[in-house]
Structure 1
Amino acid sequence: MGILDFLFGNKSKKIQDFKSRDAIIVDVRSKGEYDGGAIPGSKNIPLQSISSNISQIKKWDKPVIVCCASGMRSASAAGILKNNGIEVMNGGGWFSLSKKL
């Protein structure tokens, strides 16, 4: 186990675990950013709209992987979802996440 795995956990393993359970990928960038390139099949719910979409996200009854451009907005979104009882992980930047999927 490398030092980064020890400190931050193995994100690739967690992504694979979430994927194996049909996780939904939510991209929290703006619509304009999302339209410029995104992970196929992901859903675009901008960060400022996450709180108002909690009930819809809960209805999916699946784990959620959030992503954005760098991982900052998705970290905020992950916190909001986790505080609302949704199993979530921060996938970080969408482009790097797409390579791990």
Structure 2
Amino acid sequence: MDSKQKMVVDVRTPQEFMSGHVAGSINIPMQEVVQRLDEFKRMDQPFILCCASGNRSGQVAAYLNGIGIKCENAGSWMDVNPIHHIY
């Protein structure tokens, strides 16, 4: 999975995101996914989802793919692009 060419969406809470995230990623918390569907629809697809462990991003990926929005679950944000973390 080449995260350098795809949008990375982190579905953790804003507090988790601020404690460290992939450079260039955006934060759309899992709890806000339904309310922010238009943002997902405007993104180049497929995009990458991540969270702390892959559980939340997996749930969001299943939901979005189920409604026709193409995305991939990358699991932990630390596995997406470990060289480009912001702390």
- TM-score scaled by length of structure 2: 0.86
**Structure 1, unpaired ranges of 5+:** 1-14
Give the letter aligned to residue 69 of structure 2. I
**2:70 is aligned with 1:87:** yes
Whole-angstrom CA distance in 2 between matches of 1:47 and 1:24? 16
Aligned identity (percent) is 36
Higher relative CO (CA 8 A, sep ≥ 6), structure 1 or 2?
2
Aligned residue pair count: 84
For 2:69 and 2:18, how far apart are their aligned partners in 1?
26
Displacement of 1:62: 2.6
Moved over 2 A (4+): none
The residue number in structure 2 matching 1:10 is none
- Aligned partner of 1:62 in structure 2 is 45
- Whether the 8 Å contact between 2:52 and 2:77 is mirrored in structure 1 is yes
Paired position in structure 1 for 2:34: 51
SS in 2 for 1:65: strand
Alignment gaps of 5+ in structure 2? none
Which has the larger share of helix? 1
- Return closer, same or farther for 1:100/1:63 CA change in 2, 3 Å cut-off: farther
CA distance in 2 between partners of 1:58 and 1:66 (Å): 14
Structure 1 or 2, whichever has the larger Rg, is 1
The 8 Å contact of residues 31 and 44 in structure 1, kept in 2 or not, is answered as yes
TM-score for both structures, normalised by structure 1? 0.75
Between Structure 1 and Structure 2, which shows a larger proportion of strand residues? 2
Let me know the Cα RMSD of the aligned residues.
1.8
